[in-house]
A and B are shown apart, each in its own frame.
Chain A
């Protein structure tokens, strides 16, 4: 499988924090933007460590960690325009952050008080999707709707819309993902398929899903695929910006394979020591997505020490807030659950709701 020496891997910032050139992709932002990315990376990691700790303390039922994947998520998330729409899996906490979602809302699903916690339409950020690959079709259908709305290829900024579907390397084996590729291709839908290849689908390595590099799959469906260093926030940003632009201008779908690594367990219920070697994890630690940005910022003296201290303090405060707010999330009202099933309530459900209410009343009495 590919490694960092892979010539096909787009990289713009080395693990040592040096900017490098690529013939096809360029990062256009200034150092201030990069400092902003640094803040996003640190805060999204903090959300993750806090949530993991909350799970350990029994406050969350489960948590799917993004540790190690911050650059893939921030790099792509910061490339989005407000009108773009995201269809995530269950691990896109960093993308959610970029969409302006309050991180506390992410905890609802994992605490078991709600199945979403946010209004997708308010953030253009869809529901977390547990069934692997299902959302890639939703993204494609949404993108077809965008086409019907003439919100693609008009040249009007703020109108032309791209749709992004996030998924993992394991998901590429699913029928739905392959159907979504076919669909998006033949309808030329403005959708960007963003695969975070974090090397593992629970215990199964990518070699259990594919014998060709995943980005090459796109060619067979008739659209471009690119592999980017998923731990390089600048490269991910550059590559995603281009793919989104392609989609918005009406040039159709593309596939991005962000080559990254899941540093933690699959979820808090998983034990990765049963299936992978610690030296692999150690190797990837040297490619930490945050460290290289910090190294760059220091190298070019883009920020002073106070900046790093401020970001750390902000992260601390965010963690503290999440801790408090998580514990305060109220349990759902059981009676209300019956009202969420249909737009038009059915007599059967109304009767069952009343039955439960009566039962609960006798229990209290």
Chain B
């Protein structure tokens, strides 16, 4: 058991994946000598060489498009998109090529690409550096989408994603890179990649979160204790596919669900989760499924991002509204 930041955990996870499989290739802008703008790939080029940790030209469609070709040649490319807001130039390659290759090839061609995206707000950045594009990818058949919320998951999930024969959009909550520290058991994988997990049992209501919002949900659960609330918190971990059985099980007990995410509300992942809970747990529900989300505006200037982002108070307020139903 070692204590690491999430950044270090990801770095160690990538290193181990490369040690285990020499078909793993990292590609991205500045990931070599600099170690990436967040230093997630720090030291990897030194140890694995410029051919395996490839500093690419500054072109996102090219990063993903050449990864497709690499995968067709038998490699397992892990590409880094420097920031969430810069994934859009690669969107066509991701949606039309990466996601559809298996289907288009009649199931003959695997597309084992991991697209790592540092995502989400809360770091006081300028525009295009704080976005949460997960719904765009969840809505794309053929992709899998996951997000880690703690170092142990980060360490293991990145390796699990690399081992997966399907393309995985791997969302890394950038504000947790250095602030989330935790124990990593490098011998014991915590859970399969496409599984959600109850991380705090409770009875009053079920709070669902993933990535950066998990710490908000946990904060709300701790703060709620003083008011006699006993919140159950589930870290979804996987958004495509969703693993909703544990959620249903929980909601059937608590009768209430609140979904928390930073992304825009309309047609966001929360909307889908609310619909699914309604379809499958209708008779257990004491209140409609509520959402605590970012607003349907472009990500705001950083001086007001605290207002935009879900926080502990907004989560507790939603729980109160649910209880007042």
Q: Do A and B bind each other?
A: yes
- Chain B residues contacting A126 (CB-CB under 8 Å) are 72
Specify which of B72, B73, B97, B142 is in contact with A131 (CB 8 Å cutoff).
Answer: B97
Option from A137, A143, A337, A348 in Cβ contact (under 8 Å) with B65: A137
Query: A179: nearest residue on chain B (CB-CB)?
Result: B62
A182 touching B74 by the CB < 8 A rule?
A: no
For the complex of A and B, list the 7 residue pairs with the smallest distance between their C-beta atoms, beginning with the closest: A141-B69, A137-B65, A145-B73, A141-B66, A346-B241, A343-B165, A142-B69
Residue A149 lies at the interface, judged by CB distance under 8 Å to chain B? yes
- List CB contacts (< 8 Å) of A156-181 with chain B: 163, 175-176, 179-180
10 examples of A-B residue contacts, CB within 8 angstroms: A120-B108, A144-B54, A145-B70, A145-B75, A163-B69, A175-B61, A186-B57, A339-B107, A341-B103, A341-B142
Q: A134-B93, A137-B65, A180-B65 given as contacts; is B108 within 8 A of A142 (CB)?
A: no
On chain B, the residues within 8 Å of A87 by CB distance are 69
Q: Does B69 contact A140, Cβ atoms closer than 8 Å?
A: yes
The answer, yes or no, to whether B275 is at the interface (CB within 8 Å) is: no
A340 touches B (CB below 8 Å): yes
Q: How far is the CA of A324 from the CA of B119 in the complex (A)?
A: 54
**B67: chain A residues within 8 A (beta carbon):** 141
Closest-CB distance, B271 to chain A (whole angstroms): 16
State whether A340 touches B93 (Cβ < 8 A): no
Chain B residues, CB < 8 A from A137: 61-62, 64-66, 68-69, 93
Q: How large is the interface on A (under 10, 10 to 19, 20 to 34, 35 or more residues)?
A: 35 or more
Which of chain B's residues have a CB closer than 8 A to the CB of A339?
107
Tell me, yes or no, whether B110 is within 8 Å of chain A by CB: yes
CB-based contact B97/A119 at 8 Å: no
Q: What does DSSP make chain A's interface, helix, strand, loop or mixed? A: helix
- A284 interfacial contact with B, CB 8 Å: no
Closest chain A CB from B15 CB (angstroms) = 19
A-contact bits for B9-39, CB 8 A (1 contact / 0 none):
0000000000000000100000000000000
The reply on A121 being an interface residue by CB < 8 A is yes
Given A116-B108, A137-B68, A142-B73, CB of A343 within 8 Å of CB of B62: no
The residues in B between 98 and 119 inclusive whose CB is less than 8 angstroms from any CB of A are 101-110
Residues of B near A179 (CB, < 8 A) are: 57, 59, 61-62, 65
B51-63: CB near A (< 8 Å → 1, else 0) gives: 1101011010110
- Given known pairs A179-B62, A182-B59, the reply for A138 and B92 (CB within 8 Å) is no
- Chain B residues within 8 Å of A348, by CB: 241-242
How far is B61's CA from A117's CA once the two chains are assembled, in angstroms?
27
When A145-B69, A149-B73, A343-B110 are in contact, do A176 and B61 touch as well, CB less than 8 Å? yes
Known A137-B69, A137-B93; judge A183-B104 contact (CB<8 A). no
A148 at the interface (CB under 8 A from B): yes
Q: Given contacts A144-B70, A340-B102, A344-B166, are A176 and B65 in contact (CB under 8 A)?
A: yes
* 13 additional contacts (CB under 8 A) given A176-B62, A347-B243: A114-B106, A120-B72, A136-B65, A138-B68, A138-B69, A141-B65, A142-B70, A143-B69, A183-B66, A341-B102, A341-B141, A343-B164, A348-B242
Q: Indicate if A207 sits at the interface (CB-CB under 8 A).
A: no
From known contacts A182-B62, A343-B166, infer whether A134 and B96 are also in contact, taking CB-CB under 8 Å. Answer: yes
Give Cα distance in the complex from A183 to B67, angstroms.
12
Q: What residue in chain A is nearest B57 (Cβ atoms)?
A: A182
**Residues of chain A whose beta carbon lies under 8 Å from any beta carbon of chain B:** 87, 114-117, 119-121, 126-127, 131, 134, 136-149, 163, 175-176, 179-180, 182-183, 186, 337, 339-344, 346-349
Interface residues, chain B, with chain A CB atoms under 8 Å away: 25, 51-52, 54, 56-57, 59, 61-62, 64-75, 77, 89, 92-93, 96-97, 101-110, 141-142, 144, 164-166, 194, 240-243
> With A141-B69, A142-B72, A142-B73 given, is the CB distance from A134 to B106 under 8 Å?
no
Whole-angstrom distance from the CB of A150 to the nearest CB of chain B? Answer: 10
Expressed in whole angstroms, the minimum distance between the Cβ of B54 and any Cβ of chain A is 8
Using CB atoms, name the residue of chain B closest to A137: B65
In this complex, the member of A87, A145, A341, A342 whose beta carbon has the largest number of chain B beta carbons within 10 angstroms is: A342
Are A138's CB and B107's CB within 8 A? no
Taking a contact as CB atoms under 8 Å apart, the answer to whether A342 and B108 are in contact is: no
Chain B residues in 8 Å Cβ range of A120: 72, 105, 108-109
Q: Give A134 to B72 CA distance when docked, in angstroms.
A: 14
- Looking at the assembled complex, report how far the CB atom of B24 sits from the nearest CB atom of chain A, in whole angstroms: 11
Which residues from chain A contact B72 at a C-beta distance below 8 Å? 120, 126, 138, 141-142, 145
Most buried by B among A127, A137, A348: A137
The CA of A143 and the CA of B67, in the complex, are separated in Å by 11
Contacts of A141 in B (CB 8 A): 65-73, 77
Please measure, in the bound complex, the distance between the C-alpha atom of A146 and the C-alpha atom of B142, giving whole angstroms. Answer: 26
Contact of B25 among A148, A346, A347 (CB under 8 A): A148
A342 near B102 with CB under 8 A, answer yes
Complex formed: what's the CA distance from A275 to B234 in Å? 61
A182–B97 Cα distance when bound, in Å, is 20
In the complex, A114 Cα to B75 Cα: how many Å? Answer: 26
* Distance between Cα atoms of A183 and B27 in the complex (Å): 12
Are A119 and B108 touching (Cβ within 8 A)? yes
- In this complex, the member of A117, A175, A339, A343 whose beta carbon has the largest number of chain B beta carbons within 10 angstroms is A343
**Complex alpha-carbon distance, A340 and B104, angstroms:** 8
In the complex the two chains form, what is the Cα distance from A168 to B56 in whole Å? 26
Neighbouring A residues of B242 by C-beta, 8 Å: 348
In the complex, the answer to whether B104 meets A342 with C-beta atoms within 8 Å is: no
State in angstroms the CA–CA spacing of A114 and B105 once bound together.
8
In whole angstroms, what is the CA distance A237 to B62 when docked? 30
Task: Report which of B62, B92, B101, B241 forms a contact with A180, defined as CB distance below 8 A.
Answer: B62
